[in-house]
A and B are shown apart, each in its own frame.
Chain A
């Protein structure tokens, strides 16, 4: 495997890029097929998330060269987005609460 050179340049074999490229095509086709075959429920959501994470991981690690950077920048860039996950958890509670109040107070015959 090629290493980052002394100048901080990223030089990697074309073959690696082509393999990742092919995998991105395959994974995108799989995601599309999830919709095409009308998979529903937990199976649908988990497959969508798995294919999404695999694609995102390949793009960040290989195309954006994160796999060859040092931990100092990997953690500086990849840890802060976890705050978005915390935010998501908060908004799930918020949205559930809003939905509850809408059903309880605004739907016909709820008065």
Chain B
């Protein structure tokens, strides 16, 4: 299969913005998403499906929390940590939030460096992103073991509604899995960028096709989505 990007040149008459562009893009044959390569479009569609998965998790959490007659454990106290003698509410979660946002920032810069063909900077920034991601997963592992040690189980916990444990492990576990997969994804792409695969035209191990620097942006889409999901988990599960 020839490695041509699926981006068609525009007719002069085709509008590129506003409602007219929406109608003409969708009614054009074969290819609705112009200016968006197939790789990016597929990642967006995957992320949309993932949105529904996390949406359903958060909805089931809402449903069990609204319908239980036992009081819900106070997350502010459950996730508090004793630091230097003072009790800090929710401090670990706040640090995890900042770590993930920082990693999103370095990822955005990696995409920028990739398109500037600055492969060393792009690979290093992706490694830093992966490092922050690994730190996030480490803190989550710490949080899980702390809660398990305190007696939180999917079916019971010492402070109130039993559904707290099941929703907590399900939602944060699924998100942590996404972060872990993202770290692996980042490391694989960073290695390719460092080696200069997208300059030398080296064929991919899995696809047997030449890659482009766009994969850095596609990896970035996934990584920012993981950060995005955390924004909603932070608001609904930890702060509400």
Contacts and interface: CB of A to CB of B under 8 A. Distances in A.
Contacts of A64: 220-221, 224-225, 228
A54 B76 CA distance: 22
Interface of A is mostly: helix
B26 interface: yes
Interface in A1-58: 4, 7-12, 14, 17-18, 20-21, 24-25, 28, 31-32, 34-36, 38, 44-45, 48-49, 51-52, 55-56
Contacts of B107: 63
B109 interface: yes
Contacts of A63: 104, 107-108, 220, 224, 227
Contacts, number: 172
Contacts of B102: 21
Given A63-B220, A73-B33, A28 B232 contact: no
A88 B228 contact: no
A102 B104 contact: no
A87 B124 CA distance: 42
A8 B44 CA distance: 15
Contacts of A7: 5, 7
B152 to A, nearest CB: 20
Contacts of B63: 91, 94-95, 98
Q: Which of A17, A38, A80, A99 has the most CB of B within 10 A?
A: A17
Interface of A: 4, 7-12, 14, 17-18, 20-21, 24-25, 28, 31-32, 34-36, 38, 44-45, 48-49, 51-52, 55-56, 59-60, 62-65, 69-73, 75-77, 80-81, 83-84, 87-88, 91-92, 94-96, 98-99, 102-103, 106-107
